[in-house]
Amino acid sequence: MGSAATMAMTALYFTTIKSTKLTSTFRTLPRFTCSSSSKFNISFSPSNPKPKPTPQPKTQTPHDDDDEGPLMIPWIVRGEDGNFKLLSEPPPSFLKEMANAQTGTKKSEKDQITKNKKKGEKETKIRAVTAPPKYSKAARRFYNENIKDDSGTRLSKVLAASGVASRRSCEDLIFKGKVTVNGSVCNTPQTKVDPSKDNIYVNGSRLPKRQPHKVYLALNKPKGYICSSGEKESKSVISLFDDFLSSWDKKHPGVPPPRLFTVGRLDVATTGLLIVTNDGDFAQKLSHPSSNFSKEYIATVDGLVHKRHLTAISEGTTIEGVHCVPDSVELLPRMPDTQRSRLRIVVHDGRKHEVRELVKSAGLEIHSLKRVRIGGFRLPPDLGIGKYIELNPTNLKALGGRVNKANS
């Protein structure tokens, strides 16, 4: 019992000593004032200093402070009103900067976006330079080899390439149930088929397993021929290739003749370069406006051509609601055997009757119009009217196409 009382008295004694030491450590600061000139004097001498208590032995505990106790450090900061203030604790901004410096914390994405907004910069997101792929390379390879079905060609495209009819007419045959694949009626033009493996019948006739080769021809179109083959009473440019198709069996036995069609069109009165093929993908690429292929025409006009006419043509005109401007307009020297003026006009939009409309808007009248170039391929000067040549790989490269080696 005596030992317990002694321990209690000892604990009370050290508690009293510690409270007295903490109380004596804090000092009272005198009142001070600050002027706008930022010059001031501060005195920290205590008004009634108290004697320092006699050091006493202390018990080592994990919560004991140093002998001198906590020391209050004054902080002088400038307030929002511009005057200096005395604080007993560090300002929050200083603590935040210290924490960032110690931990290496970076600015958050939100802070960066806010900073960009304040500077008037475009809002951007902080992201990695290279994002990881959604799927691994092995997973994509497995999908392409085992799941993805790239084999075969659309049924409507196979029928059109085999010379049955145009692709649109082939789709109508499929919708009407005139086509069977492996003994079953197929009503979907997008069905993937392989002519070398599947049995395809159209109106009871079997489609040849071998597909015709890709054919690329350049024709010097004569006047009076149309590019469409739908009107029987008019002369079609496809009829100019009758000798080519009739000799097909001798050159390619067992292979059906190709179904030829024109890449783009020239009106019945326009002559010159016209591409004919059976490759639908090539024709789509060459004729689509996104290919941006330039086309050069020689326009022979009636009357004299002045500078104002050239200016009017170069400024363009509106065709089908779109303002079309030619790439270039040039007045060519007169030929010795004619008194008419010739204009070289280069366009790329490909609008219907574009060159004729450009010349008409300038107040001139076209006597004859001839196309002499498409892209990088120019009509051979020795190619007679109504004649054609087969395009070689160099010619196709100039047109932006390429030859399928399997069909060469």
Over residues 15-72, the pLDDT tens digits come to 554 444 444 444 555 554 444 444 445 554 454 555 555 555 555 444 444 445 555 5
123 is a domain residue: no
Q: Are residues 172 and 196 in the same domain?
A: yes
Regarding whether 310 and 273 lie in a shared domain, the answer is no
Residue 109's pLDDT band, with cuts at 50, 70 and 90, is low
- The count of domains in the chain is 3
More confident residue, 102 or 271: 271
Confirm whether 275 is domain-assigned. Answer: yes
Which of the residues 267, 281, 302, 327 is marked catalytic? 267
How high is the pLDDT of residue 115? 60
pLDDT, greater one: 39 or 273:
273
| pLDDT tens digit sequence for 64-75 | 444 455 555 667
* pLDDT at position 220 over 50: yes
| 328: pLDDT strictly greater than 90 | yes
Let me know if 129 is exposed, middle or buried by CB neighbors in 10 A (0-12, 13-18, 19+).
exposed
Q: Does residue 232 form part of some domain?
A: yes
Please indicate whether residue 267 is annotated as part of the active site: yes
Q: Report the alpha-carbon angle 205-210-216, nearest 5.
A: 110
Residues 303 and 258 in one domain: no
- Most confidently predicted of 82-86, 166-170, 200-204, 280-284: 200-204
In a domain, 272, yes or no: yes
In this structure, are 299 and 369 located in the same domain? yes
- Residue 223 burial class via C-beta count within 10 angstroms: exposed 0-12, middle 13-18, buried 19 and up: middle
Same structural domain, 331 and 225: no
230 & 266 share domain? yes
Residue 216 has pLDDT above 90, yes or no: yes
Q: What pLDDT is stored for residue 22 in this prediction?
A: 43
Cα(31)–Cα(20) distance, integer angstroms: 25
Check residues 187 and 17 and name the one with the higher pLDDT: 187
260 and 402: one domain? Answer: yes
Let me know if residue 327 belongs to a domain.
yes
Q: What is the CATH number of the domain that holds 220?
A: 3.30.70.580
Judge contact between 77 and 85, C-beta under 8 A.
yes
The larger pLDDT score, comparing residue 296 to residue 231, is at 296
The model's pLDDT over 358-377, given as tens digits with 9 standing for 90+, comes to 999 999 999 999 999 998 99
- 115 vs 400: which has the higher pLDDT: 400
Question: Per residue in 312-323, pLDDT tens?
Answer: 999 999 988 889
Distance CA 291, CA 350 (A): 11
Q: How many of the other CB atoms lie within 10 Å of CB of 24?
A: 14
Q: So what's the pLDDT on residue 303? A: 87
Question: Is a pLDDT exceeding 90 seen at residue 275?
Answer: yes
Cα separation, 137 vs 46, in Å, equals 76
Statement to judge: residues 356 and 237 lie in one domain: no
Whether residues 219 and 350 share a domain: the answer is no
Q: Which residue is associated with the tokens 């040849």?
A: 208
Q: Which of 117-121, 226-230, 324-328 has the lowest mean pLDDT?
A: 117-121
Q: Is residue 71 part of a domain?
A: no
pLDDT at 401: 55
pLDDT recorded at residue 9 = 54
| Domain co-membership, 349 together with 304 | yes
Number of other residues whose CB lies within 10 A of the CB of residue 337: 5
Instruction: Report the range of poorest mean pLDDT among 134-148, 180-194, 196-210, 232-246.
Output: 134-148
Look at residue 235 and tell me if it is in a domain.
Answer: yes
* % of the chain at pLDDT higher than 70: 66
Same domain, 229 and 347: no
Q: What is residue 282's three-state secondary structure?
A: helix
Return the sign of the alpha-carbon dihedral for residues 197, 198, 204, 210: negative
pLDDT at 316: 92
Report how far residue 1's alpha carbon sits from residue 383's, in angstroms, rounded to the nearest whole number: 131
Tokens 């993908």 sit on residue? 281
Contacts of 134 (CB under 8 A, 6+ apart): none
CA distance 387 to 222: 9
The CATH number covering residue 341 comes to 3.30.70.1560
DSSP state of 226: B
Rg of the chain (C-alpha set): 46
The closest of 216, 220, 217, 236 to 228, measured between CA atoms, is: 236
37 assigned to some structural domain:
no
Q: Which domain holds residue 259?
A: 213-288+381-408
CATH code of the domain in which 180 resides: 3.10.290.10
Threshold 0.75, pTM exceeds? no
Shared domain check, 310 and 172: no
pLDDT at position 116 is 58
